[in-house]
Amino acid sequence: MSVITVLGAGAMGSAICTPLADAGWEVRLWGTWLDDHLLDAVEKGENHPRTNEPLAEGVKLYRSDQLEEALDGADTVILSVASVGVEKVTKMALPGIVKAEALMVTSKGFLEFDNGDVLLLPDSIRRIAKEEGYDNLPPIVAVAGPVKANECAAREPTATIFGCKDKDVAIKYARSIRTDNYAIEATDDEIGVEICAPMKNVFAIALGIADGLQEKTGVPHHNLKAATFNEAVREMSILGKSQGAAEATAFGLPGVGDLEVTGLSGRNKFYGVRLGRGEKPQEALEEMARLEQTVEGVPAAGLAKKFVDQHASDIADQLPLMNAVIEILAGGVDDVKSVVGNAVLPARP
């Protein structure tokens, strides 16, 4: 039986253990120093606090001080921590990662280095490995798509996508992890998958604003939400294409698919709802943090702007929705409806 170690015992890390176990893998789940209370609950036989679903049977749990043990003999490693923890956990786990056949990444976002460089997560991991003296990093498989962690853990029908520069590797893992309920598309468009992953979190905030406006006024804003959705997909495609991604990737599972599910019920959407209702960006963020709800679209928005400035400055004016979200998050915007509307409604011919 092949061994797979999942790094990060949060919602997605715990949820992906279900299809892995169902597919016949020996699954190890390592929790960071922030996951102790989650592992405590699971060890007591309770449902996982993030998914409200039981952890898959047979999964072996490891605490933060058991990383070496968790990685020992692992054939594959999955990095599933919040984007802010990617650098630290990667550095800690590199001795084990380089011995694996592949590193899979469910984490989503950008990473900013001390010199100000902003990179997508796979390129960030490659750079970290090089700086740490490792030149034998295994293939990276980006995992994305419309996956709600609780539904994945509950074995509800789920479609996801594995992106790797070596498509044969993506296909290998798509075949070895697939179950009756967890279906996987394989692609070699790692860049397209990784562009969509953080950007849909940014744009889901704008989708949530439309819903928040409805709660505030009692008037549906479906037309605005639809126009926002359309603009979000367009901008993901433009940004991806500028980096060498396939233009169509944004119109598939990592773009349209993931934006749909995130815009329906994700944490970034609910943060946007708060803004649409009239809450101030920082106050809304602090309240969600108190509820232990990470809003990755907030840091992703600022890093996306830096990424565009560094790698695609020639298309900056073609990303009005991204810029609108950044403006709103900065505070001082009283009329969020107009800011979003001006960004997504077609210009006068």
Residues belonging to the active site: 200
Place of tokens 């044969």: 168
11 is in an annotated binding site: yes
Place of tokens 């919040």: 82
175 vs 329: CA distance, rounded Å: 41
1 is in an annotated binding site: no
Rg (CA), the chain: 20
322 is in an annotated binding site: no
Q: How far is CA 157 from CA 224, 242, 255, 295, in A?
A: 30, 33, 18, 25
Residues in the chain: 349
Structure tokens at 288: 């969600």
- Say which DSSP state 313 is in: G
133 is in an annotated binding site: no
140 vs 200: CA distance, rounded Å: 21
Query: 3-class SS at 6?
Result: strand
The region that residue 292 occupies, defined by phi over 0 for left and psi between -120 and 50 for alpha, beta otherwise, is left
313 vs 306: CA distance, rounded Å: 9
12 is in an annotated binding site: yes
User: CB neighbours (10 Å) of residue 327?
Assistant: 16
Pairing label, strands 76-79, 3-7? parallel
268 is in an annotated binding site: yes
227 is in an annotated binding site: no
267 is in an annotated binding site: yes
Place of tokens 């698919």: 257
47 is in an annotated binding site: no
66 vs 71: CA distance, rounded Å: 9
44 is in an annotated binding site: no
User: Residue 67, class by beta-carbon neighbours within 10 Å (0-12 exposed, 13-18 middle, 19+ buried)?
Assistant: buried
141 vs 58: CA distance, rounded Å: 25
Pairing label, strands 76-79, 60-62? unpaired
Cβ atoms 105, 142 nearer than 8 A: yes
Which residue numbers belong to the known binding site for NAD(+)?
Answer: 8-13, 149, 267
Which residue numbers belong to the known binding site for substrate?
Answer: 108, 267-268
Which residue numbers belong to the known binding site?
Answer: 8-13, 108, 149, 267-268
